[in-house]
Structure 1
Amino acid sequence: MGRGEREDIARGGRLLEAARALAGDHGRAVDAVRAALAPIQDAAVRQELDALPVARLQDVTGGRLRLGGVEKSGLRSVGGVLDAGPYRLRQIPGVGQRTADQILAAARRLSEAVHETVAVHIDVDRPEPATTALVTALHVLVEAGPDARRAVDRADGLAERLGPLLEDARPVGARLRMLVAGKEKRARALDAVAGIRALVEEAERAGLPELFAQASVDLLRGPASDVAAWVDFELRSAEYYSLLAEVSGRMPDTAAAEGFLPDGIAERVRAQRLDDSRRRVSLRGYQAFGARFALAQRKVILGDEMGLGKTIQAIAVMAHLAAEGRSHFLVVCPASVLVNWTREIEARSALRVAVLHGPDRHDAFADWKGRGGVAVTTFDALRGFPGPDGAEVGVLVVDEAHSVKNPKAKRSRAVALWAEHCDRALFMTGTPMENRVAEFRNLVGMLDPRLAQSLDERDTPAGSVGFRQAVAPVYLRRNQQDVLTELPSLQQTDEWEEPSPSDEEAYREAVRAGNFMAMRRAAYARPETSAKLGRLREIVREAGENGQRTVVFSHFKDVLGVVREALAEDGGTTLFGPLTGSVPAGRRQRIVDDFGAADGPAVLLAQIQAAGVGLNLQAASVVVLCEPQIKPTTEHQAVARAHRMGQVRPVRVHRLLATGGVDERLVRMLERKTRLFDAYARRSAVAEATPDAVDVSDLDLARRIVEEEQERLGVTDAGLTASG
């Protein structure tokens, strides 16, 4: 046996060592999370058990226990019973050995049940040593990202194949051992060497040695500081909670995560492979299932409740198909979310984006046809493009699909034409369409005409089990409370809107006048064509249809007036406020109380300076910020009014931003200069008492932005006016 064979074995050994080292590094990172989680979880379990009355032991035993004497003895909770133990229980009159054993067995069963279901909530406003340890441990895995997870999976698979081959090839490593080995063993050893060589060459072509090395480095690199870990947690809390659920094994109920689909369809979806090589973010379990559902069923409606990440599920579908060789994808959406789609695709995937909007949309369409990528366009623009030519489009994605529920509308006919000629279609809507059988049937008709014809409103009442079974082949919907195990969570979304021509005109006038405050609210100066106002109305409408309450914050009273008029015109929602600084404190609280007690959809309008401090608004689970604030602390404190103890639903924050002007400059400047420092300062009691101390100078910031915008737009410098 020559040097070449021994070198092949040595290369295989080094690769196996790297794979096992990576698995070990990942295992230690996971163990660190579990070790940090254990005391927090135990404390949460203990708190639950101390709150459970002794009478709950009857639930476990079917009412067979006599507990009167136990309660009279002073043991009033299940936690107290567990602490008491068998000796103290037997001292209670009427409680013998058998009864004591039964009581303790029932208490332990309740303890196990609580341990399985208790949720750990990480409080960013009150970081403690235990939660800080958990956040920093999770930070290692989050920062390593999906690439590390993929590397570990590849390492595990490689080790499984390489380990046995190296064992079989051992005789080749020593000449004497090879000489004394039998004929069959020598042949197996030579075959193993060939297998090792092939595996090593395959791994090197795929760049696995470098991938393993980088993943190990990422897993061994801790956060720069506890503060950096907390800042990252605030920015990416969903990823932290997702990993926490995975590591702890506390995943959502499987049936709920799968939308209570029939077993046959659910099994087919589970078997669907999902390639993540073109995707830059990890998916939660229910999101991966949603992407698989769209791939397995080909033409579907994803009706997840607002805030569950329908966009990332659509991106996952496109990324998978791109990895399989598909080159063209089409997203159709309202103009108000076009910019968001573009940014999400760029940030969360390796897919090329082509915007088919504006005066050059036909040239952009022709370019997309030639080069491929994800084309993002609007319902109105879609009507002006040539019809589809067969299977070129890998998947048609239609956002806010309830917008095409009227089959007679031109936009609906255009979408139906494309859906008919595309192999796959993914319609998305947060509106609970199962409550509207006629409208739902129209959408289904674009995807599966036969199924649509079978949906008879008289035979399938909305929301019935029969209805869900009938539409299961094309419809998947999950609710937040069923799949987000870490409730309450905070989900923050920057809603980038492209200004309308009249928005641009109003903004230019404010810039020419050098009026910084007018620049900030120019997006609402002409309500009839306001892009921001249009998106705000959509958010409020969808929240109302999902039975959620909304609080709308703005710095400006006149903006709140515009919003109130628009929402009053829409109808269907009870309006409260505006709550401004001129409203007496007692009256403010009554407004908040009335808002919390309102039946059905409700909106509270509030000036951010007046409602951002001192009031609890946990009745609201949707928060809209009409414009970015100059001081980061102002936004944080306002959001904290809703996202705090007592909030039972996830809080979704929508910050409305206009592209290309003051909003973009404000966001960029404040993120660059104050994000880390501000996050640190908010954990200081002194900083909370004097928030102005950590914010950038308002006047300096305003002056800089006005001057830069005047220069960009080429308008006369009229000096700075900071009046509101």
Structure 2
Amino acid sequence: MGRDEREVVARGARLYAAARGVCGDHGRAVEAVQEALRPLQDEAVARELDATPVARLQEATGGRVQWESVERSGLRTVGRVLEAGPYRLRQVPGVGRRTADQILAAARRLSEAAHETVAVRIDVDRPEPRTSALVIALNLLVEAGPDGRRAVDMAEGLALRLGPLLAEAGPAAGRFRMLLAGREKRSRALAAVDGIRSLVEDAERAGALGLLAQASVDLLREPATDIAAWVDFELRSAEYYSLLAEIPGRAPDVGAAQGFLPDKLAERVRRQRLDDSRLRVSLRGYQEFGARFALAQRKVLLGDEMGLGKTIQAIAALTHLAAKGQSHFVVVCPPSVLVNWVREIEARSTLRSTLLHGPDRHDAFADWRSRGGVAVTTFDALRGFPAPEGGEIGMLVVDEAHAVKNPKTLRSQAVARWVERCERALFMTGTPMENRVGEFRDLIRMLHPGVADSLTEGDALTGSVAFRQAVAPVYLRRNQKDVLAELPALQHTDEWEEPSVSDEEAYREAVAAGNFMAMRRAAYLRPEKSAKLERLREIVREAGENGQKTVVFSYFKDVLGVVGEALAGSVPVHGPLTGEVPPVRRQQVVDDFAAVPGPAVLLAQIQVGGTGLNMQAASVVVICEPQVKPTIEQQAVARAHRMGQVRRVRVHRLLATGGVDERLVRMLAAKTRLFDSYARRSAVAEATPDAVDVSDVGIVQRIVEEEQARLGLVGEEPPAVGQEESP
């Protein structure tokens, strides 16, 4: 036993002290958050219990209590029962000591459950001392960033392993202690020294001391001012809420976060390791699971509802593979989100991105092949590149994958060739099935032919639970309401307007001509007396008075033009975003809209603005007319109501009574139920065979003919159904 062993123990002790210090600093920061959170959580629980009828407690007494007597005594809610206490309860006729104790015990159980599940929402528009204290406490952890989280994880692991080893190696810390120790203790001490040496050398190679020292500096800095913390919260609210969800004592819905996968499959995914060393952001629990799912299952469809961060889950999977030695990756997406993908890759990871688009795309392709990184390209451009050899591509990511659900199209065939040649493929879409279960099956077939071939229309119609179980190995979907408790409320309002005389005349002319597209926009054809346009002005004016920004969606460019002229001069108007606007310019328009310090309006074609662009600067959404496909509206709304949104989102859908709008709304409701049955988690499918296979062209023709009959215009022009695809 000599100087070398003593030096190893000393180095281990220094590392152990640094690790314990970081754990303590982090623990105190978490305690500060918990202390700030407690009064807000208690208040939220109290509100929930005050809204819970006292009859919910009936099960606890076996139905022996006459709840009418309890309610007549003024104890109408669970909250009032808890406030009343045992003495007040025993004054109620028919309630004795034992029953009162049972009632209070049941009320306390409900209170405990509420404390575990209630969501604390931070209102950025109404800051007050208690919420400011919470935001300031969270700011310390947010500023520490992903490196801070990695340092804490490392510190906890080192402290857990070094502590016992240092205790066992105690005799080796001094020459005389070692001489006085017995043979068995000396043997254990030397073995512990070897263990300490291995841990210390590994930690030094990983730069542990520097990482731990920086983490302590970050965790011990002075708290931010309330103004600075609030500004940072509005910019990075998703990171604040992500930390809040992980505070000890708050139990997440594990089943929802894991997409309600079968237990064996979920366990397999959980065992998949995820190396996040090349990520620049922290993942939420459900996002980490999504990345693990993509890695464990190799070829999958991530169908998370919009706003849940599918992009960052894909990037996390790519960075893991890059850390394991893979060098080349490909992202295929619509032109509208090319720039967004490049931005996200560069901002959220250390990966290099290369844009394969435009006249120089083949030169860029050659550069990417030689240097590696993530190639970002479009569906159409992909067709011009040679399919890879086996093993060349670490992962192929296909965003908005529903664009390739038709196997007969050239873009679908090109994607299928690449998927076949790639070991891993990740399809992403919030709308994997719109009208036909068969189309969903075709999408799955590209990834896993065996799963697709095992599905039949009959299997789908037996119920969505069976359907989800069958596709579980290749399909993962989570919904906002299940995993993002912090999202502000989403308020939908159908704004039914009585058409003006001028509106009616324009609509009648469109019906007589059999022009379905003109029928849909008739309410804006004569803007000087448009009922819808007047209501839209009111909504925008009200939003402006509250300092809120508004996004206005329409399928039609000419409707957006009318809206822009009507709002000009009253509020800054940006756009319109249409199919003719280049992808790079689209993102710039959205950025300019977000940068306006006060009220502003962004105009966008719903099929353009509803794909890939993040519009969470807006808290008011106006949809000028109902759409033929419900998923188009859902995508558009999700661009504002998504992770990172800090205000309540109000959605106003402008509808005219008595005509095409009413008929479309009824059909949209039926199609939405179909989507919910199969693409969301649901107990019973609500579809019939003809509902699954309904044709949009058939809808158009039927609506036009029924409207002609209603208005006594039978025998006029035949329906112009083919115009549906041209805005």
Distance change >3 Å, CA 630–CA 310, structure 1 → 2: closer
Structure 1 residue ranges without an equivalent (≥5): 491-546, 551-564, 594-600, 614-623, 656-678, 680-724
User: d(CA) in 2 for partners of 1:570 and 1:292?
Assistant: 45
Aligned twin of 1:628: 593
* Residue 112 of structure 1, CA deviation: 2.0
Q: Structure 2 counterpart of 1:639, which letter? A: A
The answer to whether the 8 Å contact 2:116/2:251 transfers is no
User: d(CA) in 2 for partners of 1:175 and 1:108?
Assistant: 60
Pick aligned residue for 2:618 from 629, 639, 650: 639
Aligned twin of 1:536: none
* Residue 575 of structure 1, CA deviation: 9.7
User: d(CA) in 1 for partners of 2:494 and 2:591?
Assistant: 16
User: d(CA) in 2 for partners of 1:166 and 1:403?
Assistant: 59
Distance change >3 Å, CA 434–CA 634, structure 1 → 2: closer
User: d(CA) in 2 for partners of 1:548 and 1:291?
Assistant: 36
User: d(CA) in 2 for partners of 1:237 and 1:306?
Assistant: 17
Aligned twin of 1:537: none
* Residue 635 of structure 1, CA deviation: 4.2
User: d(CA) in 2 for partners of 1:30 and 1:148?
Assistant: 13
* Residue 422 of structure 1, CA deviation: 0.4
2:40 is equivalent to residue 40 of structure 1: yes
* Residue 448 of structure 1, CA deviation: 1.5
* Residue 381 of structure 1, CA deviation: 1.0
2:424 is equivalent to residue 424 of structure 1: yes
Q: Structure 1 counterpart of 2:535, which letter? A: R
Q: Name the stretch that deviates more: 369-378 or 153-162.
A: 153-162
The answer to whether the 8 Å contact 1:331/1:375 transfers is yes
Aligned twin of 1:197: 197
Percent sequence identity over aligned pairs: 67
Q: Name the stretch that deviates more: 206-215 or 172-181.
A: 172-181
Distance change >3 Å, CA 436–CA 257, structure 1 → 2: farther
* Residue 37 of structure 1, CA deviation: 0.4
Distance change >3 Å, CA 462–CA 239, structure 1 → 2: farther
2:58 is equivalent to residue 83 of structure 1: no
Distance change >3 Å, CA 576–CA 342, structure 1 → 2: farther
Q: Structure 1 counterpart of 2:115, which letter? A: H
Aligned twin of 2:20: 20
What SS does the corresponding residue of 1:458 show, helix, strand or coil?
Answer: helix
2:327 is equivalent to residue 327 of structure 1: yes
User: d(CA) in 1 for partners of 2:522 and 2:63?
Assistant: 49
Deviations 1:410-449 (A, max 9, x none): 1111111000010010111111427522111221221122
Aligned twin of 2:221: 221
User: d(CA) in 1 for partners of 2:494 and 2:350?
Assistant: 37
Deviations 1:16-48 (A, max 9, x none): 000000000111111111111000000111112
The answer to whether the 8 Å contact 2:523/2:530 transfers is no
The answer to whether the 8 Å contact 1:489/1:650 transfers is no
What SS does the corresponding residue of 1:32 show, helix, strand or coil?
Answer: helix
Distance change >3 Å, CA 351–CA 476, structure 1 → 2: same
What SS does the corresponding residue of 2:276 show, helix, strand or coil?
Answer: coil
Aligned twin of 2:442: 442
* Residue 585 of structure 1, CA deviation: 12
**TM-score w.r.t. length of structure 2:** 0.71
Q: Structure 2 counterpart of 1:361, which letter? A: R
Deviations 1:176-226 (A, max 9, x none): 222221122222222322332332222112100000000111111244311
* Residue 609 of structure 1, CA deviation: 7.8
2:31 is equivalent to residue 31 of structure 1: yes
The answer to whether the 8 Å contact 1:252/1:484 transfers is no
Deviations 1:281-324 (A, max 9, x none): 11111111111111111111111111111111110110010011
* Residue 583 of structure 1, CA deviation: 8.2
Alignment of 1:202-601 (within 5 A): 202-433=202-433, 436-461=436-461, 464-488=464-488, 587-588=534-535
Structure 2 residue ranges without an equivalent (≥5): 496-509, 541-552, 573-588, 602-615, 623-633, 647-727
The answer to whether the 8 Å contact 1:251/1:485 transfers is no
Alignment of 1:688-703 (within 5 A): none
Q: Structure 2 counterpart of 1:628, which letter? A: F
* Residue 462 of structure 1, CA deviation: 8.3
Alignment of 1:157-176 (within 5 A): 157-176=157-176
Q: What RMSD in Å do the two structures reach over aligned CA positions? A: 3.7
Distance change >3 Å, CA 263–CA 16, structure 1 → 2: same
**TM-score w.r.t. length of structure 1:** 0.71
The answer to whether the 8 Å contact 2:524/2:530 transfers is no
Deviations 1:492-551 (A, max 9, x none): xxxxxxxxxxxxxxxxxxxxxxxxxxxxxxxxxxxxxxxxxxxxxxxxxxxxxxx9999x
Q: Name the stretch that deviates more: 254-263 or 207-216.
A: 254-263
User: d(CA) in 2 for partners of 1:382 and 1:485?
Assistant: 38
* Residue 70 of structure 1, CA deviation: 2.4
Q: Name the stretch that deviates more: 176-185 or 137-146.
A: 176-185
Aligned twin of 1:94: 94
- Report how many residues are paired: 564
Q: Structure 2 counterpart of 1:588, which letter? A: R
User: d(CA) in 2 for partners of 1:228 and 1:612?
Assistant: 29
User: d(CA) in 1 for partners of 2:464 and 2:429?
Assistant: 20
User: d(CA) in 2 for partners of 1:43 and 1:28?
Assistant: 24
* Residue 651 of structure 1, CA deviation: 6.9
Distance change >3 Å, CA 97–CA 572, structure 1 → 2: farther
* Residue 627 of structure 1, CA deviation: 5.7
User: d(CA) in 2 for partners of 1:382 and 1:640?
Assistant: 36
Q: Structure 2 counterpart of 1:480, which letter? A: Q
User: d(CA) in 2 for partners of 1:572 and 1:64?
Assistant: 61
User: d(CA) in 2 for partners of 1:582 and 1:251?
Assistant: 55
Q: Structure 2 counterpart of 1:460, which letter? A: A
Q: Structure 2 counterpart of 1:187, which letter? A: S
Distance change >3 Å, CA 133–CA 578, structure 1 → 2: farther
Distance change >3 Å, CA 110–CA 185, structure 1 → 2: closer
Q: Name the stretch that deviates more: 408-417 or 166-175.
A: 166-175
2:180 is equivalent to residue 180 of structure 1: yes
Q: Structure 2 counterpart of 1:207, which letter? A: G
The answer to whether the 8 Å contact 2:20/2:155 transfers is yes
